[in-house]
């Protein structure tokens, strides 16, 4: 069993141990203290007059919701299969207010060949949403032409099972074309225990009609043993804005595949290749030998090449020795996967795993690389974040030791939707004061977890200052008034953790500027995991610059009506706290309506229709025992194998009884992100001040489904240090400058070595998607995008080189320089001994330290030009270079180099 399989098995085991906490009999329950849901400022006497809501009880909890039509009237809910209890399928035709079970209709459609109902996925045709297809976990597919009011069933081709579906993708140009990657049905459990099962790629071009399928493995006539990864070529230009070099046709398909049958279980395999076809694999061509996995981001293809490959990516034989790094090398293509160039990261990527995240503009990529840190006691999972600047293939280390909660599947790195350039992450730092500027593996204590935020795409990270005022005194944990205090927020690894689930940092593109999270405030020296009792729920309405506590404890939340409405409910957490009311705010969290629920329940999630355009949310969860709350529906002895599910729909328009109409032009303002909590001047982010249309907080009206925010109005700014980051091969020092990474720790970067990209002698480049004016005021020798300019000093590798114009010989210049230095040294020694006072000597010491750093940096540059980069990729410690957030309490955000 691989280490990753063992890790996932441990997660599954812990889940089985943890989940029964919700289903214990009442005589074993430990009743948690009830939270007071009215602690936030109420909205006057109207709140007390709100009518309690009734919920819909389902046979088991909801696992997914899908809105089908453009008016969001038709919604389907899938309920989970638990043990012997079948799953279920529910339909609403009035915006989720009332529900009807369609489970029996699915069963009746099976006719003579029944199987348990367990719907795994629902697809509706975009151009005709009345056409719906549902995939069962077994060998059945249901289809409907009337919004699931009636259904028919048919067997899957080849009798593959829905539970074996690895992924499926609808064509971006043809909404009835589908590619589906599924486990081959003849691979049995015993086989799967020994090796990964082979997968077939199936194609249908009439999904909502006759649904005829073609097995692309069979089309390849024995030349493909199994498919691994896939995508439509059209996803390189989903809006049909393809350029000629992409060479994309309607039937262009990109895949990785096993060429020969055999063991399908290697982490990175030299028998897996990247291929492309434009005729459903009747013919195909290998575009990248040993290309195992890939992602399409914007108009680029990012491909992971297995370093154990005996050939290069073009298929040419290459020499290999024991020093060859056994992980992967990243390649990128901007012509649809026809030609690849090697991506450059400052360290070789290990095999623990990696993830590609698109930037907010969809044209750039962020690489999150997972690794393990051994501090002498245990292996601590962590991640490093690498960002690409203007060049899509050159990545620099932005942040390392990013936190992953115990038994969490994700990394605590969040892209803030609607605000390009803004990200929030949690970073581990050494708790020992002695080691705070060094690698956390040097410390023998568990690391401190602190939250960082960036407003320039990862070029610079900083802590989030704690609020100066609080609504709930319990949320103020700043016990040391002489020390700075910060806010630390839960990330995705806490949300999907089996051990302890907390709602994570959340934003929605329909509500730019709004962010919610759970977390704690802490004085310097304490962090996220040091004070569970101080957990509160937090809201930012200005893009993460300032925050306000909106509730004690852990709540789950959602934005509605384009951000004008916020809904939240108590999250069960470790103490299994049920919700017996819902909190609603229509003025950006300044006051809250408490909406009572007739039946309390454990909340799983709050959902909104895909566009977030209506003031209606759906809250779903599972029934609770009355030992937790008298308003729970289950009594001792009522419990079955699985707790029933409960669905509530909160229509805020109805709750306000028509007192809030539709907004008009005077109700809107132009929102900008402020510079800091104390400086409300609009901030320049990615080289521009963006003005976004938003309803004013004190205007009591709804945006409505017809609201159009439009594109932001941008004012371009002059370039500053906030518009640049360290380029490839450089890292920020404790002084904030970019210093060269020693060449012995750097992999080869062909793009630089072949002089196709020039790195500035400053070590700086522009941040991805930055549009500031006058970059030459910050970077004099390049355009910040890899092209030399007249400022000189730019280098195609590690620095620039220029021939001198003096007519004197090198020996003469050296002799005169040496003589001048000797005279100056004598004068300096006399001044230091007889004339200098202490503060002058201290100033000289500081200058000498700066000059020394410069000399070392220059020496490294000269050495790299002479030696060149090392040829072999060697295994480096992913956590060796440690860029940390603002470690110094009172300095601007900086990075730390070990």
CATH number of the domain that 741 lies in?
3.30.60
With residue 495 as reference, give the H or E element that holds it.
helix 492-495
pLDDT tens per residue across span 388-402:
999 999 999 999 899
pLDDT confidence of residue 388: 92
Which tokens go with 526?
A: 């304490």
Total residue count of the chain as it appears in this document = 898
Note whether residue 508 is domain-resident: yes
pLDDT confidence of residue 759: 95
pLDDT at 265 over 60: yes
Rounded CA gap, 382 and 377, in Å?
15
pLDDT tens per residue across span 722-748:
999 999 999 887 677 888 988 777 888
794 touches 760 (CB < 8 A) = yes
Pair 317, 276 in one domain: yes
DSSP assignment of 373-416 equals: EE-SS-EEEEEEEEEE-SSTTBEEEEEEEEE--TT-SS-SEEE-
Mean pLDDT value of segment 454-471: 95
List, in order, residues 6 or more apart from 791 with CB less than 8 Å away. Answer: 776, 779, 780, 781, 782
SS3 150: coil
Mean pLDDT value of segment 835-846: 53
Residue identified by tokens 């949403």 is 129
In whole numbers, what is the pLDDT of the chain averaged over residues?
83
Pair 666, 704 in one domain: yes
Q: Give which of 647, 645, 652 is closest to 614, Cα–Cα.
A: 652
pLDDT at 34 over 60: no
pLDDT at 834 over 70: no
Note whether residue 844 is domain-resident: no
CATH number at residue 702: 2.10.70
Query: Pairing between strand 701-702 and 661-662?
Result: parallel
Note whether residue 869 is domain-resident: no
pLDDT at 828 over 70: no
202 touches 217 (CB < 8 A) = no
882 touches 898 (CB < 8 A) = yes
pLDDT at 797 over 90: no
Mean pLDDT value of segment 257-262: 88
Mean pLDDT value of segment 163-190: 92
Rounded CA gap, 121 and 66, in Å?
9
Q: Residue 96 — very low, low, confident or very high, per pLDDT cuts 50/70/90?
A: very high
Rounded CA gap, 396 and 725, in Å?
9
Among 107, 130, 155, residue at a domain's last position: 155
Query: What phi and psi, each to the nearest 5 degrees, are found at residue 789?
Result: -125, -175
Mean pLDDT value of segment 706-718: 95
pLDDT confidence of residue 44: 61
pLDDT at 882 over 60: no
* 4-8, 105-109, 161-165, 581-585: the lowest-pLDDT one: 4-8
pLDDT confidence of residue 764: 97
Which tokens go with 34?
A: 């009830």
pLDDT confidence of residue 897: 26
pLDDT at 826 over 70: no
Pair 221, 305 in one domain: yes
260 touches 225 (CB < 8 A) = yes
pLDDT confidence of residue 869: 32
Rounded CA gap, 345 and 746, in Å?
8
DSSP assignment of 556-576 equals: EEEEEGGGTEEEEEE--TTTT
pLDDT confidence of residue 262: 75
Residue identified by tokens 């910040």 is 784
Note whether residue 839 is domain-resident: no
Percent of the chain scoring above 70 in pLDDT: 77
Mean pLDDT value of segment 588-612: 94
Q: Residue 216 — very low, low, confident or very high, per pLDDT cuts 50/70/90?
A: very high
Instruction: Please report which residue ranges of 607-737 form alpha helices under DSSP H.
Output: 652-655
pLDDT at 873 over 90: no
Pair 137, 202 in one domain: no
Q: Which residue has the higher pLDDT, 608 or 873?
A: 608
pLDDT tens per residue across span 671-693:
999 999 999 999 999 999 999 99
pLDDT tens per residue across span 297-344:
999 999 999 988 999 999 999 987 765 667 788 999 999 999 999 999
Rounded CA gap, 501 and 551, in Å?
17
Note whether residue 818 is domain-resident: no
CA dihedral 494, 497, 502, 508 (to 10 degrees): 70
pLDDT confidence of residue 819: 60
pLDDT confidence of residue 51: 87
pLDDT confidence of residue 6: 37
pLDDT at 220 over 60: yes
pLDDT at 874 over 70: no
Pair 501, 591 in one domain: no
Q: Residue 209 — very low, low, confident or very high, per pLDDT cuts 50/70/90?
A: very high
Pair 374, 523 in one domain: yes
List, in order, residues 6 or more apart from 317 with CB less than 8 Å away. Answer: 310, 311
Q: Residue 447 — very low, low, confident or very high, per pLDDT cuts 50/70/90?
A: confident
Q: Which residue has the higher pLDDT, 640 or 359?
A: 359
pLDDT at 757 over 70: yes
Among 296, 316, 343, residue at a domain's last position: 343
Pair 19, 54 in one domain: yes
Q: Give which of 620, 585, 628 is closest to 603, Cα–Cα.
A: 620
Rounded CA gap, 391 and 786, in Å?
8
Mean pLDDT value of segment 69-86: 87
220 touches 281 (CB < 8 A) = yes
pLDDT at 228 over 90: yes
pLDDT confidence of residue 112: 79
Residue identified by tokens 């759906």 is 618
121 touches 134 (CB < 8 A) = yes
List, in order, residues 6 or more apart from 773 with CB less than 8 Å away. Answer: 687, 716, 717, 718, 719
Mean pLDDT value of segment 244-267: 87
Among 317, 343, 369, residue at a domain's last position: 343
- Can you say whether residue 334 is alpha, beta or left, with left for phi > 0 and alpha for psi between -120 and 50 degrees? alpha
Note whether residue 858 is domain-resident: no
pLDDT at 15 over 50: no
Q: Give which of 589, 537, 596 is closest to 566, Cα–Cα.
A: 589
* 33-37, 142-146, 711-715: the lowest-pLDDT one: 33-37
Rounded CA gap, 211 and 153, in Å?
11
List, in order, residues 6 or more apart from 429 with CB less than 8 Å away. Answer: 401, 436, 440, 447, 448, 450, 884, 885, 887
pLDDT confidence of residue 12: 38
Which tokens go with 116?
A: 């348990």
607 touches 620 (CB < 8 A) = yes
Mean pLDDT value of segment 341-356: 78
Q: Residue 640 — very low, low, confident or very high, per pLDDT cuts 50/70/90?
A: low
Rounded CA gap, 385 and 399, in Å?
5
SS3 154: strand
List, in order, residues 6 or more apart from 352 with CB less than 8 Å away. Answer: 369, 370, 371, 372, 381
Pair 770, 734 in one domain: yes
With residue 1 as reference, give the H or E element that holds it.
none
SS3 461: coil
- Taking only Cα atoms into account, the Rg of the chain, rounded to an integer number of angstroms, comes to 30
Quick count: other Cβ atoms within 10 Å of Cβ 367?
A: 21
Pair 402, 272 in one domain: no
SS3 21: helix
pLDDT confidence of residue 379: 82
65 touches 76 (CB < 8 A) = yes
pLDDT at 857 over 70: no
740 touches 869 (CB < 8 A) = no
Mean pLDDT value of segment 222-248: 93
Note whether residue 536 is domain-resident: yes
Note whether residue 307 is domain-resident: yes
Rounded CA gap, 171 and 187, in Å?
28
pLDDT confidence of residue 111: 83
Pair 520, 600 in one domain: no
pLDDT at 879 over 60: no
pLDDT confidence of residue 769: 96
Pair 591, 577 in one domain: yes
Rounded CA gap, 878 and 745, in Å?
11
List, in order, residues 6 or more apart from 388 with CB less than 8 Å away. Answer: 364, 365, 366, 394, 395, 396, 768
- Beta-sheet strands, E only, within 499-655: 515-523, 536-540, 548-552, 555-560, 565-570, 579-585, 593-607, 616-623, 645-651
Q: Residue 409 — very low, low, confident or very high, per pLDDT cuts 50/70/90?
A: confident
Rounded CA gap, 307 and 320, in Å?
10
Q: What spatial distance separates the first Cα and last Cα of the chain, rounded to whole Å? A: 36
pLDDT confidence of residue 237: 95
pLDDT at 556 over 90: yes
Q: Which residue has the higher pLDDT, 431 or 525?
A: 525
pLDDT confidence of residue 704: 94
Q: Which residues pair with 585 in a beta bridge?
A: 566
67 touches 610 (CB < 8 A) = yes
Q: Residue 853 — very low, low, confident or very high, per pLDDT cuts 50/70/90?
A: very low
pLDDT confidence of residue 877: 30
Q: Which residue has the higher pLDDT, 139 or 47?
A: 139
Mean pLDDT value of segment 177-206: 84
Mean pLDDT value of segment 254-278: 88
* 195-209, 444-458, 822-836, 862-876: the lowest-pLDDT one: 862-876
Say how many domains are in the chain.
6
pLDDT at 842 over 70: no
* 92-101, 150-159, 398-407, 827-836: the lowest-pLDDT one: 827-836
| Domain that includes residue 593, residue range | 1-60+562-658
Pair 490, 358 in one domain: yes
pLDDT tens per residue across span 489-530:
999 998 887 667 899 999 999 999 999 999 999 998 899 988
Rounded CA gap, 532 and 536, in Å?
9
Q: Which residues pair with 519 in a beta bridge?
A: 489, 536
SS3 290: coil
pLDDT at 710 over 70: yes
**How far is Cα of residue 127 from the mean position of the Cα atoms in its chain?**
30
pLDDT tens per residue across span 532-542:
889 999 999 99
Mean pLDDT value of segment 551-558: 96
Q: Residue 861 — very low, low, confident or very high, per pLDDT cuts 50/70/90?
A: very low
């Amino acid at each position: 069993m691989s280490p990753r399989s063992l890790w996932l098995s441990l997660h599954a085991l812990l889940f089985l141990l943890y989940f029964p906490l919700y289903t214990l009999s009442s005589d074993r329950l430990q009743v948690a203290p009830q939270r007071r849901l009215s602690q936030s400022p109420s909205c006057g006497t109207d709140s007390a007059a709100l009518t309690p809501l009734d919920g819909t009880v389902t046979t088991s909890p909801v696992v997914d919701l899908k809105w089908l039509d453009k008016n969001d009237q038709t919604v389907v809910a899938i309920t989970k299969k638990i043990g012997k209890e079948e799953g279920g399928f529910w339909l609403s035709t009035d915006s989720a207010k009332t529900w009807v079970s369609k489970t029996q209709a699915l069963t009746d459609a099976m006719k003579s060949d029944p199987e348990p109902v367990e719907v795994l996925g629902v697809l509706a045709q975009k151009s005709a949403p009345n056409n719906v297809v549902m995939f069962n976990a077994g060998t059945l597919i249901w289809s409907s032409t009337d919004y699931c009011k009636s259904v028919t069933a048919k067997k899957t081709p080849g009798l593959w099972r829905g539970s074996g579906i690895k992924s499926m993708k609808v064509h971006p140009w043809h909404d009835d074309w589908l590619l589906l990657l599924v486990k081959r049905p003849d691979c049995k459990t015993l086989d799967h225990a020994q090796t990964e099962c082979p997968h077939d790629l199936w194609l249908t071009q009439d999904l909502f009609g006759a649904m005829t399928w073609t097995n692309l493995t069979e089309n390849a006539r024995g030349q493909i043993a199994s498919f691994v990864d896939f995508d439509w070529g059209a996803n390189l230009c989903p809006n049909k804005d393809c350029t000629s070099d992409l060479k994309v046709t309607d039937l262009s398909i990109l895949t990785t595949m096993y060429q020969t049958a055999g063991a399908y279980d290697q982490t990175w395999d030299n028998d897996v290749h990247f291929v492309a076809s434009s005729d459903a694999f009747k013919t195909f061509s290998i575009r990248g030998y040993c290309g195992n996995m890939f992602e399409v981001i914007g108009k680029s293809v990012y491909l992971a090449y297995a370093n154990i490959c005996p050939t290069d990516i073009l298929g040419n034989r290459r020499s290999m020795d024991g020093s060859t790094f056994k992980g992967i090398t990243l390649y990128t293509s901007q012509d649809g996967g026809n030609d690849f160039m090697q991506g450059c990261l400052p360290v070789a990527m290990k095999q623990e795993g990696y993830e590609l995240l698109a930037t907010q503009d969809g044209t750039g990529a962020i690489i999150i690389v997972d690794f393990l840190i051994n501090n002498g006691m245990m292996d601590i999972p962590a991640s490093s974040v690498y960002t690409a600047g203007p060049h899509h293939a050159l990545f620099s280390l932005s942040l390392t030791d990013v936190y992953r909660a115990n038994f969490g599947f994700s990394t605590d790195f969040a892209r803030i939707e609607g605000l390009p350039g803004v990200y929030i992450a949690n970073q581990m730092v050494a708790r020992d004061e002695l080691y705070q500027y060094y690698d956390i593996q040097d410390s023998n204590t568990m690391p401190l977890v602190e939250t960082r935020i960036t407003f320039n795409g990862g070029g610079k990270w900083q802590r989030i200052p704690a609020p100066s005022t609080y609504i709930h005194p319990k949320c103020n944990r700043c016990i040391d008034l002489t020390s700075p205090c910060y806010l630390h927020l839960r990330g995705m690894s806490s949300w999907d953790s089996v051990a302890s689930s907390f709602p994570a940092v959340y934003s929605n593109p329909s509500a730019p500027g709004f962010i919610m999270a759970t977390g704690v405030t802490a004085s310097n020296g304490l962090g996220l995991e040091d004070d569970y009792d101080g957990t509160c729920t937090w809201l930012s309405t200005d893009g993460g610059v300032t925050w306000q506590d909106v509730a004690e404890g852990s709540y789950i939340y959602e934005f509605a009506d384009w951000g004008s409405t916020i809904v939240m409910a108590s999250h069960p957490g470790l103490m299994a706290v049920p919700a017996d009311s819902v909190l609603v705010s229509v003025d950006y969290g300044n006051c809250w309506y408490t909406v009572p629920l007739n039946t309390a329940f454990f909340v799983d999630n709050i959902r909104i229709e895909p566009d977030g355009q209506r003031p209606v949310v759906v809250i779903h969860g599972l029934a609770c025992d009355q030992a937790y709350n008298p308003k729970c529906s289950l009594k001792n002895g009522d419990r079955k194998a699985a707790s029933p599910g409960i669905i509530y729909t909160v229509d805020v328009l109805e709750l306000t009884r028509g007192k809030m109409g539709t907004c008009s032009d005077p109700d809107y303002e132009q929102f900008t992100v402020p510079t800091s909590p104390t400086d409300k001047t609009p901030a320049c982010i990615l080289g521009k001040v963006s003005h976004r249309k938003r309803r004013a907080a004190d205007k009591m009206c709804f945006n409505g489904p017809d609201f159009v925010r439009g594109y932001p109005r941008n004012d371009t700014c002059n370039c500053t240090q906030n518009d640049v980051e360290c380029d490839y091969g450089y890292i920020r020092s404790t002084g904030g400058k970019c210093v060269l990474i020693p060449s012995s720790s750097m992999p080869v970067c062909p793009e630089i070595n072949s002089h196709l990209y020039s790195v500035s002698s400053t070590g700086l480049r522009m941040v991805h998607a930055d549009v500031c004016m006058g970059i030459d005021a910050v970077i004099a020798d390049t355009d910040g995008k890899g092209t030399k300019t007249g400022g000189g000093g730019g280098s195609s590798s590690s620095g620039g080189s220029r021939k001198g114009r003096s007519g004197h010989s090198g020996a003469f210049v050296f002799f005169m320089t040496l003589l001048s230095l000797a005279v100056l040294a004598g004068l300096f020694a006399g001044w230091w001994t007889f004339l200098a006072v202490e503060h002058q000597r201290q100033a000289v010491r500081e200058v000498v330290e700066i000059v020394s750093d410069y000399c070392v940096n220059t020496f490294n540059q000269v050495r790299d030009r002479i030696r060149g980069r090392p040829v072999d990729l060697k295994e480096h410690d992913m956590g060796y270079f440690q860029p940390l957030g603002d470690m110094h309490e009172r300095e601007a955000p900086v990075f730390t180099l070990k």
